[in-house]
Chain A
């Protein structure tokens, strides 16, 4: 009962978080809302008059709705490109970012479902599609498979996101049993949603343009290009709008880290630390002794660099007195991500994972530090409380590092090369054989019987894809600006390639050789914009809820007391509170 109530409180606070933000947030949400309503209005017209208000015909019976649907299934599937490196290859940089990918998947699937719904001639009969209630043609129809895998994928991702956020909200480490199995099911499931969507087309023997075994691999390659590209852009937006101090506030010339000479640490130093870190008091004498092996205490003057972002060292530091600023490089600028006070811990990620430093630590005033080698920190963590304390300290940070973005870059890079290669395979098969089955491809690339509508589209896509590929291969795209341009080009190129380049030409010419072209109408496009706005709105709101919870600003610890609701003003104050470090100290350490 209490668990239910606690979960409901979490939900209600999360939902109310969606209404908290600054003027930029309201402007953005308001603008998206307006576009949504325009789309809704256009859809109301379509509902009344039928699909005649679209550019579709009996000849070209699917259009931009299904094209967008196909593209977005790929975006949803691409969330695994964050999950696989983290859970299969243990990439620590991306671990915190998985949830952004999964929330994007949720938003993308919602858009997919919306696009399929607006494409239906009889949306009022949606219940015919419900297994058990309607008359579900499973496993015969690939579309029924799609209904199963898409809704399953939605539930899977909603569950994983909600569980991770709720654990974070409660200040617990997520229990592996409740979540890792679903993550691995999700990986397979993600591949399945795009494979099934490809099979929608591949399974049609009467459409030689689609009836090609390479479509599913091509779909996956293009999805794993466009999806992570979209995530790269989205993460930078998240990073910018969640920044809690002005960029460029600090600039430090590159000097070696300078700690000066330390002295050997003793038990009395642990006692000093225990004043600020009550959990340490309960640690057994034995462990205390052991962890002091190799431990040193440093008195550091103001402005000194203790650790440097990107360095590979494995010491960790507890603050005995004074303040330390954690600063990260983001693109061209620097940002203070945390301010640590006595009792605070830093350097533990590098110590425990061997990964390069995630931030630069600079002293703010004279500081006394206790330095523990990695091995000593591990010994200390044999104590259960210290273990969860260190772990939660690690988990409590939403670090969108440049390195994480560059890891995604290499995924986009490889996928794009494979995508272009597979496209080349397709093009070779269509044109070298010169069979009559190449009619659609001929129409797409060069025009057929005097019809040319798709040529500018596909050549734009090819130029975009090739340019993006070259940019991604060259080292210049290690600069975020270039990487962003490459990502935009890749997204545009793949959207065209899968939409106007795959769905539409499959219908032209018709199986009876008739040439009828397709151009979307204004009403049709308004509906598409409406759905895209709806999806962006969903993603925005989901992030609005998730980020403060991930950063520990909203947690069980700052609930207003049993049965009480905190006012919106209080929520706002929590979200806007500068320092996540405060929440760190107060919630995790007590």
Chain B
């Protein structure tokens, strides 16, 4: 997910405004958010996802996806332990915090820092799916793999999809 320069400026303005007046200027932020985001950072086995930010912003609150970085103050009791007073972030895109590579030596040794609380931060792929799937399941939105992104040629190769298969019937039985 890319944060457009517009969104970054808006967030910066908001931060300045926050210094002058208490409370958060949520409405402006939301309106300045991108309408659609093409999620393609990881597209290799699957086609990129055209993510309608506008549509999802109507269905969920900012914090449901963006944690404490933007939007409402109301938060998970677990997060509020430290982030109750955290200001809004200038960077609110998923990949600003969640790394594309995960479980490589950098991430493994990062856990050596005794002051690091987030020893369990998901990578980018995990962050997307862990955020999207539970809600999709709950709201009966597509939750199978190919419901959101179709397999690419290399994806078909990996999954060894040869010609016509019984996948359609299988997907039914896999109902989640």
A and B interact physically: no
Q: Which residues of A contact B (CB under 8 A)?
A: none
Q: Which residues of B contact A (CB under 8 A)?
A: none
